[in-house]
Structure 1
């Protein structure tokens, strides 16, 4: 509850433009091979894709992302580490959603005359991502800062990913986003005293956008046999799962103050999100990781501890060359732990798919 008298939020014109803090965990902007994307044969999943396209056209959340009177309050009571942790959460979430918007919009534009079904699908997903990014940016304005998304569009370096990698990574991004939102939402339903800002009331419908997008990418992935029928696809599935899960663990433990303010244990939250995303991924990927192996979370936690040590070094006043030198052995240890996790015997999702559970 807000105890201070309500007051208008900070006008966006008066909000401070927040500079994006770049590090290895900062969400990237992507581009891809549009020619290969245009040539994808979707016939194996066309019925499912058409059904999901109809659902996207229905736009169930078109009236959802509208700020109501709950936002007409003062947020000055959120201070210190909790305030900064929440702003950092909003920043990364906003950049991540905006990254999805840019990629989907460009795919839609480039495929318009080559693959109309895929073009419209990406256009509607871009619509959703734009709403999410805009809503998060307005939330940042309540705390006196905003992201200059136009500046980011023009000045940020874009990373090239083959379309096959895009299908793997965006599927995982959407599904892990779903589980993050729904777990927070369900927790706050049980503990409304920790609901310190109205954004969280929107998470139930919000996460359904993430789930729909993930289902679309599952259908796209399953329409391409080379992405789930080959031995290479088994290796890539494990690689992308581990990459996304390791990034999640490191990010969660970098902003523990945010999760504590919600009444969540960061480590338990991280592990539940990873377990649920891994289970969901078994519906799309040929193999998934064995999260029950005793080394799995132990080594991911060790990577997080090493990452926090590197953050302390980075924040020190030492010369740049000395920081690089001191971080190098820690980086090598992280790589070693991740390699050992990767080599844990995976779970054959294709075999499980034929088993009644």
Structure 2
């Protein structure tokens, strides 16, 4: 049992959640479908066929079924801990649903022009929909759900060139893998902190994330301009930095959630980033030097300023006052990230034979 006092079962009213917009809120994306349809996959054809067969097999099709462990009240999880967990579920649900919409649209637009890629996106959309639905049911256990239909129609869609989509989705899937597997392994060792059955599913979940990441790795390696040019080295490190900065700020915003699990947030954040950076060295031509003492020091400075800005946002001052108060912090965050970006990168191509 988690060390929280139980309370009687209560009648729960389910409410619809709206997304709290800020710099860290997961975005919905669209892309250049014509360019995607024209991609030549021949350089990775054998890899694509093998992964397509694995996706068709759908090894996790029975793994996301709610069992009797969910059939109880969760009113014993209260206060700040409850809100932290709901926020975690909300952002995770929006992120998974965003992936579903992008993959679904890519599948639809590519169906008659690139059937192999269209089927691959269709199967990945299946997985993402399964994840989003499972998370939404978990939210319902806590008296709220995401209105996914409303999100589909009313969210602003950000355009990313297909090349950016490949870089960012690859990283999103791989960092997701490391987040889920590290939490899962921790709770295996500390079952007393597993306060909700969702965490038992994280092993199957991270298998999907890892598989999707491998698909995007093959996409990336099938396009020489994404890993054989000097521009690709700059883009690789840029997207690594944006994903890592977002991760650090998000983890520390949700520090209460990780503390409930018995996880120290800063250590967790650093382990996830190091593991993801090592994994990215198998696909990207250049990665970040996470061993440089400035790297995490500056990321932590960004996180602290982001927390200060959140406090300002929660205040009662007029918007223009808040904007003025936040401006020095925003500029400082940009400065720290620029300094990290300018640190000498690691030549991943040279390390290709040593990374496991």
| TM-score, structure 2 normalization | 0.97
2 CA distance for matches of 1:222 and 1:315?
45
2 CA distance for matches of 1:30 and 1:215?
20
In the other structure, the counterpart of 1:230 is: 229
2 CA distance for matches of 1:78 and 1:345?
46
Q: Please state if 1:29 is matched with 2:36.
A: no
Cα pair 2:312 2:325 within 8 Å, conserved: yes
In the other structure, the counterpart of 1:70 is: 69
Aligned 1:47-86 pairs, distance under 5 A? 47-86=46-85
Deviation at 1:5, TM superposition (A): 8.2
Cα pair 2:7 2:75 within 8 Å, conserved: no
Cα pair 2:194 2:261 within 8 Å, conserved: yes
Q: CA RMSD in A?
A: 1.4
Deviation at 1:4, TM superposition (A): 4.6
Deviation at 1:353, TM superposition (A): 1.2
In the other structure, the counterpart of 2:215 is: 216
| TM-score, structure 1 normalization | 0.97
In the other structure, the counterpart of 1:333 is: 332
Flag the 1:149–1:343 CA change in 2: closer, same or farther, 3 A: same
Size of the aligned set, in residue pairs, is 354
Cα pair 2:10 2:75 within 8 Å, conserved: no
2 CA distance for matches of 1:128 and 1:319?
43
In the other structure, the counterpart of 1:45 is: 44
Deviation at 1:310, TM superposition (A): 0.6
Flag the 1:37–1:294 CA change in 2: closer, same or farther, 3 A: same
In the other structure, the counterpart of 1:275 is: 274
Aligned 1:225-304 pairs, distance under 5 A? 225-304=224-303
Aligned 1:53-202 pairs, distance under 5 A? 53-202=52-201
**CA shift digits 1:62-111 (9 cap, x unpaired):** 00111000000111111111100000000000000000000000000000
Flag the 1:8–1:209 CA change in 2: closer, same or farther, 3 A: farther
Flag the 1:349–1:193 CA change in 2: closer, same or farther, 3 A: same
**CA shift digits 1:230-250 (9 cap, x unpaired):** 000000000000000000000
For the residue of structure 2 that corresponds to 1:78, the secondary structure is: coil
Cα pair 1:28 1:158 within 8 Å, conserved: yes
2 CA distance for matches of 1:209 and 1:4?
34
2 CA distance for matches of 1:295 and 1:77?
42
Moved runs in structure 1, 4+ residues, more than 6 A? none
Q: Which runs of 5+ in 1 are unaligned?
A: none
**CA shift digits 1:141-182 (9 cap, x unpaired):** 000000000000000000000000000000000000000000
1 CA distance for matches of 2:18 and 2:284?
37
**CA shift digits 1:228-285 (9 cap, x unpaired):** 0000000000000000000000000001000000000000000000000000000000
Cα pair 1:31 1:159 within 8 Å, conserved: yes
2 CA distance for matches of 1:160 and 1:6?
48
**CA shift digits 1:105-136 (9 cap, x unpaired):** 00000000000000000000000000000000
2 CA distance for matches of 1:247 and 1:351?
28
Q: Which runs of 5+ in 2 are unaligned?
A: none
